[in-house]
């Protein structure tokens, strides 16, 4: 039986989000119906709103949801009604990539995450009698209730501050995971982060946890650089200053062990690559816009052992990594509350505007009302 719920619908490319009633299916095998308490807004949501990958509309976006399980489908044994959960990306847990412990690169991931549909092509929500894309990252969390899959839900303590933990499902996991899971940074190493947004600042906090000797932050906004220092950056650079890469190489005596591009721009990726030392690694986290983006790299620098790697979701497994971040937060070592600004669900367009104008680092929507 379908459940009437409220969702923020996007009807056209770059259009406003309109909150309206939709009908949500009952959970299928392996699924959970979750009453959403909070949902972060991620750069990926805005990229798909702008028409990335020719994404079709109408659609319900959102992929940093958190809430309480209301009912479960057939075959679900690890979750029960009343469980508090953080929702992350979908992985099938059965393909070769998942079997090698790399769920972010699941062979069924594109179909189950960025298509807006379930892996089988179906949609869990209907709007005005017609199906609507409503399984973005197998959740579409810009809604009061969603259907998630047991594979992309992570149980947390019932007393957990879900409006703080919601962004762990993507943005914070991506930045922190790049440092702790992909790079596996060791004490004394050096990191440069290009872009002090939610992803970049999470990486800075993780580098401090890892015991990095030098943590450099680069951004256009001096206020964000101040926050980066508060969170662990040892040095900061304005993105527009002349001879930036030269200044970073001088500061680090030849370059950093690791760098991260968190913006999604070719020229920034080239800068991040250029500040790595021989045998260093540059990680690409930033999602490019609608148009194809290319970057040119010097072959002699690659021959010196430098590496460029793309990193999805921090190379992390949410089932084990999100609990690590929760524990770090409880210990006061991952103060994500300093990055979050909460908004009521009805103010979603204001929250999006704040993100687009960089006046907020991580807007989080608090859901209210709706059928329960």
Residues linked to residue 345 through DSSP beta bridges, in sequence order: none
Pair (84, 135) in one structural domain:
yes
Strand ranges (DSSP E) for 94-189?
Answer: 125-127, 130-132, 145-149, 153-156
Whether 297 is in a domain gets the answer yes
> CA-CA distances (angstroms) from residue 173 to 2, 109, 136, 180?
33, 17, 18, 10
Whether 52 is in a domain gets the answer yes
Whether 324 is in a domain gets the answer no
Burial class (CB in 10 A: 0-12, 13-18, 19+), 239: middle
Separation CA 52–CA 155 (nearest Å): 31
Whether 341 is in a domain gets the answer yes
Whether 183 is in a domain gets the answer yes
Q: What is the pLDDT of residue 290?
A: 65
Whether 204 is in a domain gets the answer yes
User: For the chain, what is the domain count?
Assistant: 2
Q: For residue 273, what are the domain limits? A: 172-313
Pair (208, 161) in one structural domain:
no
Pair (157, 186) in one structural domain:
no
Pair (163, 179) in one structural domain:
no
Q: What is the CATH number of the domain that holds 231?
A: 3.40.50.720
**7 dihedral zone (left: phi>0; alpha: psi -120 to 50; beta):** beta
Q: What is the pTM of this model?
A: 0.96
How confident is the chain (372 residues) per 10-residue block, as mean pLDDT?
A: 95 96 98 98 95 89 98 97 98 96 96 94 96 97 98 96 97 98 98 98 98 98 98 97 95 97 96 98 90 87 96 98 98 97 98 96 84 35
Pair (129, 205) in one structural domain:
no
Whether 26 is in a domain gets the answer yes
Pair (152, 282) in one structural domain:
no
Q: What is the pLDDT of residue 292?
A: 65
Pair (67, 36) in one structural domain:
yes
Nearest CA to 142 out of 6, 14, 32 is that of 6
Pair (59, 193) in one structural domain:
no
Pair (275, 199) in one structural domain:
yes
Whether 321 is in a domain gets the answer no
Pair (22, 69) in one structural domain:
yes
């Amino acid at each position: 039986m379908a459940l009437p719920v409220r969702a923020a619908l996007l009807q056209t490319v770059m259009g406003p989000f309109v909150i309206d009633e939709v009908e949500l299916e009952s959970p299928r095998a392996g699924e959970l119906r979750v009453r959403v308490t909070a949902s972060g807004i991620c750069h990926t949501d805005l990229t798909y709103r702008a028409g990335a990958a020719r994404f079709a509309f109408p659609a319900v976006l959102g992929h940093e949801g958190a809430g309480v399980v209301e009912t479960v489908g057939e075959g679900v044994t690890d979750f029960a009604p009343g469980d508090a959960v953080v929702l992350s990306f979908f992985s099938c847990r059965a393909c070769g990539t998942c079997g090698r412990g790399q769920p972010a690169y699941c062979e069924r991931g594109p179909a189950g995450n960025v298509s807006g549909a379930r892996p089988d092509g179906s949609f869990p929500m209907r709007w005005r009698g017609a199906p609507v894309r409503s399984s973005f990252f197998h959740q579409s969390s810009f809604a009061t209730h969603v259907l998630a899959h047991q594979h992309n839900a992570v149980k947390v303590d019932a007393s957990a501050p879900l409006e703080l933990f919601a962004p762990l499902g993507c943005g914070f996991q991506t930045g922190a995971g790049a440092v702790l899971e992909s790079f596996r940074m060791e004490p004394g190493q050096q990191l440069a982060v290009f872009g002090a947004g939610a992803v970049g600042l999470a990486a800075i906090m993780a580098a401090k946890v890892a015991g990095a000797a030098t943590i450099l932050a680069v951004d256009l906004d001096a206020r964000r650089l101040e926050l980066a220092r508060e969170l662990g950056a040892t040095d900061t650079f304005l993105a527009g200053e002349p001879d930036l890469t030269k200044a970073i190489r001088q500061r680090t005596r030849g370059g950093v062990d690791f760098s991260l591009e968190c913006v999604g721009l070719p020229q920034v990726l080239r800068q991040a690559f250029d500040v790595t030392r021989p045998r260093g690694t540059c990680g690409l986290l930033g999602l490019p816009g609608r148009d194809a983006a290319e970057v040119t790299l010097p072959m002699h620098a690659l021959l010196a052992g430098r590496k460029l790697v793309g990193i999805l979701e921090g190379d992390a497994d949410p089932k084990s990594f999100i609990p690590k971040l929760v524990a770090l937060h409880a210990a006061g070592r991952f103060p994500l509350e300093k990055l979050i600004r909460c908004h009521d669900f009805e103010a979603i367009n204001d929250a999006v505007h704040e993100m687009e104008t960089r006046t907020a680092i991580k807007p989080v929507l608090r859901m209210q009302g709706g059928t329960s």
